[in-house]
Structure 1
Amino acid sequence: MPDVVRAQEVSSRRALRLGVCGPVGTGKTSILALLCRELAGELSVAVVTNDIYTDEDARILRSAGVLAPERIRAVETGACPHTAIRDDVTANLLAVEDLEADFDPVDLVLVESGGDNLTATFSPALVDAQVFVLDVAGGGDVARKGGPGIARADLLVVNKTDLAPYVGVDVERMVADGSAARDGRPVVALSRTDPGSVAALVGWVRGQVRAHREGALVPQDPGPMAPHHHGDGVVHAHP
């Protein structure tokens, strides 16, 4: 059997690996809990969390009762979260593969990065698609600041939109800024209290699972730096 065919068959059997990253406090763990609640009844789901020195996020998810506790594994990175999701993905990759083996077949593995800055992206060696999370409480101008996650992740989530009136943020403007930075890639404005936005996020994830099953999903590398400028009006792009 040609190597290409063999690789395609292996890929079709394993889970979709979906990474979720973004700055500290943007609501990544809450989004994982939401996705588990919404999808666990129809898909076989597992989760890998990342923290530097603790298993706090894994314990939060287990206590929420969104999945069987053994389907939630914690990776303690011991270093910058970015390192464990991009530079040396070994610990995370082993955790994902162990979950896939223990609960075969698994449809979806959610991999949550520890909180990092705007440069954080997953290696395509670890995940098939990735979500970058911002929240309105972090400031309405953040989406304009760019970075590879904002500009190139498969989905940008502007989270906690229900807080906008309390922090003086124009959600429509923030979403528009994010959309402008993303060259047509999708943006979801999310509040856990808004069924329409929850449905939009869950629908996008379902679409990624379907594309993966059909062999139509090709992992993209957001790269280390998005196109940007230094105030000189010239756009600088780094390979």
Structure 2
Amino acid sequence: MPPAKIGIGGPVGSGKTALLDRLCKAMRDRYEIAVITNDIYTYEDAEFLTRSGALSRDRILGVQTGGCPHTAIREDTSVNQDAVEELQERFPQAQILFLESGGDNLAASFSPELVDVSIYVVDVAGGDKVPRKGGPGVTRSDLLVINKIDLAPYVGADLEVMRRDAMKLRGDKPLVFTDLRHGEGLDEVVRWIRRDVLFEDVSDELSFAAPRLAAVKASNGRSKE
């Protein structure tokens, strides 16, 4: 059975690699995982994941895309398709294959021929206007992750406004607020992968994201007083 292929995209600095690092460390004891990273001219993200100990080196394959990074995940995916085939040959029992795109703008999206589902990461640092700017990454991704919620009070970002605007564009497609630096909200992303991608029953498991989000909202409210 082929692995579930999960694309992770988002602008530069939004937290794509941080999410990937956290997901690997949270799920590697339970699942066979492999990773493909895309960089324009380097192997920086692959090297970071190796140094951090996210997975063993042989499970992480870096791809140099050159040019616009979105081309390699949407229009001409051949370099990534080759990488997928190589990792599947190395690890025929792999259950999850994460594919991280190079940093790009809100227009980036994955070809459905390359991944089964996609996660798009934006962050609070740009203010609460980011979700309403739309773009395929925000509107079409299967899961939207709004990262760096701990910065909301400092940049004047209203998380409820971000939620409302994202829901207007996404309908009933899910979104998760995270502070990946401290691991907040990660359990929600893992839960979504297990339930909606791997089709596991997670109905008896608790979520721990709500208390942290409530605290950030309260802090955000105090900063406006």
Q: TM > 0.5 between the two? A: yes
TM-score computed with the length of structure 2 as normaliser: 0.85
The answer to whether the 8 Å contact 1:108/1:209 transfers is no
Measured in 1, the distance between the counterparts of 2:146 and 2:160 equals 10
Whether 1:186 aligns to 2:174 is yes
Match of 1:119 among 101, 107, 116: 107
Match in the other structure for 1:226: none
Q: Which segments of structure 1 move beyond 3 Å, counting only runs of 4 or more?
A: none
Given the alignment of the two structures, is residue 166 of structure 1 paired with residue 154 of structure 2, yes or no? yes
1:66-145 matches, within 5 Å, as: 66-145=54-133
In 1, Cα distance between equivalents of 2:147 and 2:85 = 30
Residue correspondences, number: 199
Provide, for residues 89-114 of structure 1, a one-character-per-residue CA deviation record: whole Å limited to 9, x for no partner: 01111111111110111000000000
Superposed CA RMSD in Å reads 1.3
Distance (Å, rounded) in 1 between the aligned partners of 2:39 and 2:183: 29
- In structure 2, the residue corresponding to 1:140 is in which secondary structure? coil
**Quick one: structure 1 residues 194 and 29, their matched pair in 2 at CA, closer, same or farther if it must change by over 3 Å?**
closer
- The answer on 1:44 being equivalent to 2:32 is yes
How far the C-alpha of 1:194 sits from its partner, in A, is: 5.1
Q: Which amino acid aligns with 1:76?
A: Q
For the Cα contact (< 8 Å) 1:62–1:69, is it kept in 2? yes
2:19 alignment counterpart: 31
Partners of 1:107 and 1:209 within 8 A in 2: no
Structure 2 gaps of 5+ residues are 201-225
Alpha carbons of structure 1 residues 14 and 187: separation in structure 2 relative to 1, 3 Å: same
Partner in structure 1 of residue 43 of structure 2: 55
Give the distance between the partners of 1:87 and 1:108, measured in 2 at CA.
23
Q: Residue 211 of structure 1: SS of its match in structure 2? A: coil
* Distance of 1:106 and 1:208 partners within structure 2: 18
Q: Match of 1:184, SS?
A: coil
Shift of 1:180: 1.5
Letter in 2 for 1:61: L
TM-fit CA distance, 1:60: 0.6
1:66-117 CA deviation, whole Å, 9 max, x = no partner? 1011100000001101100001101111111111110111000000000111
Deviation sequence 1:206-226 (CA, Å, 0-9, x none): 1234239xxxxxxxxxxxxxx
**Contact 2:22 / 2:183 at 8 angstroms: preserved in 1?**
no
Unaligned runs of 5+ in 1: 1-12, 213-239
Identity of aligned residues (%): 48
Q: Post-superposition shift, 1:160?
A: 0.9
Q: Does 1:147 align with 2:135?
A: yes
